[in-house]
Structure 1
Amino acid sequence: MANQGLVLVTGATGFVGAAVARAVCAAGFSLRVTARAGSSLANLAGLEAETVPLDLTAPASFAPALRGCRYLFHAAADYRLWVPDAAAMRRVNIDGTLALLREAARQGVERSVYTSSVAALGLTPDGTPADETTQILPAHHVGVYKQSKFEAEQAVRALAATQDIVIVNPSTPVGPGDVKPTPTGQMVLDAARGAMPAYVDTGINIAHVDDVAAGHLLALEKGRAGQPYILGGENLMLRDLLALIAQETGRPAPRLRLPIAPLMPIAWAMERLAERTGKTPLMTPDILRMAKKTMFFSSARAQAELGYAPRPARLAVRDALAWFRASGRLS
């Protein structure tokens, strides 16, 4: 395919960003990716890409990274469900995002695609799938990560009144290349290893990471400026997701359902310990509060306007497990 210009992908060493980078290359663009000092480039193996330094807390690094780029995919973010320093996450997810997008306009970037999250959107009171128009209430944004993504998206929507920015809201990506892994990837790994004997009664939307990446390219091509597009997949109760993983690995599915309320004192103690040790806790009160909500979403707008076509969750899980095995994380 003929070269379509230079594209910058931030966060390309991570899970979603690497998938976007692969999609950008496949679409015939020249690729430039950003990496912080010391970041592993293993997720970019085999890609023909220029790598440049960029730190979202260092605005001086923005202009050199953006210079000469036709398009920007801003997929970098601080994605952790618990942080010892909330202000640090906000500096990356809110301040860094806005400064980078403003610099993109100054550098002549034609269009930017901002990777937000369904964490920035509202939830329905009855647990039916939410969409981009669902009312957003403060109670929907439990924890610093969700709060930071909500505030960032609202600010990006306002910025899109003066520059060409499309917003995409991935749900819960699963698939190959989850190097960290993400909290969801770790859950898939734990379940595959038989280390999740119980579950809580919650629901999530599982999307194949490569579908999410394809959705980014579709948003670049067809998205309306300032509009958010949910890039989701299949809505599943957690027990059904764990049963699916069990089927794919030949293990028995967990049958024990844990009530959330009795877990709160344990979660509180884990968080207090984490504050002293700096180690990420297995469970926090915010994680349990999130688990009380059924986080189902509809990708109907992306399907109708962009041609987004997500595959079933089973295929996402299958590809994730195959990658975990191939990378030596799952024997």
Structure 2
Amino acid sequence: MAIKAFITGGTGFIGANLVRLLLDQGYEVRALVRSQSRLDNLKGLDIELVEGDLNDANLSEKIRGTNVLFHVAAHYSLYQRDRHQLYQSNVLGTRSVLKAAQQAGIERTIYTSSVAAIGVGNPSEIVNETHQSPVEKLVGHYKKSKYWAEQEAKKAVQKGQDIVIVNPSTPIGPWDIKPTPTGEIILRFLRRKMPAYVDTGLNLIDVRDVSWGHLLALEKGKSGERYILGHQNLSLKALLDQLSSLTGLSAPQRTIPLWLPLTMAWIDESLLTPLGKTPSLPLDGVRMSKSPMYYDGSKAVKELGLPQSPIKKALQDAISWFIDQGYSY
């Protein structure tokens, strides 16, 4: 009999890719979707949809009858105005989902955390799963909410639940529907709206490898352990150069000092947002770029067999998907 998987966040970037992998591998999939969710990423797939929310009182009944759970859903925002929603969805939502999974008799849960919960080391330091920035040093409410959500998973493990934690770095590839901040970089590049760049860096991974990381964590991961799902550390300049080689468009050659976007973002969020303007640049996002976000994903490679597909291919597939979906105009 096919294993029945319950997934939260299936309409999102990682979730949509994971749902497709699970189906390809013979799993039956039941996905939790909110009443207001865009279902474009799940259109035409042979899955069961159940309407609900992470904090529903009867969530366990919606999960019951499945074997394993992938808790991928999270609220992602770097804007100050969304801080309450971040804790409501990411921390309380995770507590609710894990409690419901236990009540429903789920055999194993894979919880999607983030490298955001781990933090960063010294400038240009590459950190692994053993690193933990003090929560007060994590930049912004999104990172803090993911840290506290991960603590919910660890507490549930201490009470006997079988939960494996995965910490994706920066995924790229198709089905980036919102899109993510990295997807926004690709789109700004395609639209020729990136005349300069900030001197920073990040760890990239093909989103389909992230999906495999979830499935491999289910099969091989150790309960209570965290696994960074990452691949290649690249400076933002190197990323833009790769985009240039793939598209034939010129990469920006000038860096801008950090104080300039910091000032713009502060004005946006502190002065203009209270007047009703929708902010275009998150202050916390700019603050994060102060330190390169470099990670070591070798634990997942060695212990889980995490694939390490070429980043250039993932970038090409992301570009093609955005163009096919009409995002690049």
For residue 127 of structure 2, give the secondary structure of its aligned residue in structure 1.
coil
Corresponding position of 2:175:
177
Deviations 1:278-328 (A, max 9, x none): 62x222332221010110111111001000012122111111001111112
CA contact (8 A) 1:168 1:230 kept: yes
Structure 1 counterpart of 2:303, one-letter code: E
For residue 84 of structure 1, give the secondary structure of its aligned residue in structure 2.
helix
Task: Say if 1:275 and 1:185 are closer, same or farther in 2 by CA, change over 3 A.
Answer: farther
CA–CA distance in 2 between the matches of 1:139 and 1:241? 30
CA–CA distance in 2 between the matches of 1:327 and 1:61? 36
Q: Do structure 1's residue 244 and structure 2's residue 242 form an aligned pair?
A: yes
Corresponding position of 2:96:
99
CA–CA distance in 2 between the matches of 1:293 and 1:101? 33
Once structures 1 and 2 are overlaid, which stretch shifts more, 217-226 or 139-148?
Answer: 139-148
The CA deviation at 1:245 is 0.9
Corresponding position of 2:87:
90
Corresponding position of 1:277:
276
The CA deviation at 1:139 is 5.3
Deviations 1:50-92 (A, max 9, x none): 0001212x32241232010100000000011114141221011
CA contact (8 A) 1:205 1:296 kept: yes
Structure 2 counterpart of 1:172, one-letter code: T
Corresponding position of 2:126:
129
Task: Say if 1:305 and 1:39 are closer, same or farther in 2 by CA, change over 3 A.
Answer: same
The CA deviation at 1:261 is 1.9
Q: Do structure 1's residue 257 and structure 2's residue 250 form an aligned pair?
A: no
Corresponding position of 2:151:
154
Paired positions, count:
327
Corresponding position of 1:221:
219
Deviations 1:15-40 (A, max 9, x none): 11111111111111111011100212
Q: Do structure 1's residue 167 and structure 2's residue 165 form an aligned pair?
A: yes
TM-score normalised according to structure 1 size: 0.95
Corresponding position of 1:211:
209
Deviations 1:247-283 (A, max 9, x none): 111111100100102332222111121243262x222
CA–CA distance in 2 between the matches of 1:167 and 1:47? 27
CA–CA distance in 2 between the matches of 1:247 and 1:55? 43
Corresponding position of 2:295:
297
CA–CA distance in 2 between the matches of 1:277 and 1:11? 30
CA–CA distance in 1 between the matches of 2:309 and 2:274? 40
Provide structure 1 residue ranges, at least 5 long, that are not aligned to the other structure.
none
The CA deviation at 1:130 is 0.9
Structure 1 counterpart of 2:49, one-letter code: T
Of the candidates 21, 24, 27, which is equivalent to residue 23 of structure 1?
21
The CA deviation at 1:122 is 3.0
Deviations 1:212-265 (A, max 9, x none): 001000000000001000001211000111111111111111001001023322
The CA deviation at 1:193 is 1.8
Provide structure 2 residue ranges, at least 5 long, that are not aligned to the other structure.
none
Task: Say if 1:135 and 1:90 are closer, same or farther in 2 by CA, change over 3 A.
Answer: closer
Q: Percent identity?
A: 43
CA–CA distance in 2 between the matches of 1:277 and 1:77? 26
The CA deviation at 1:154 is 1.9
Corresponding position of 2:284:
286
CA–CA distance in 2 between the matches of 1:85 and 1:117? 18
CA contact (8 A) 1:207 1:233 kept: yes
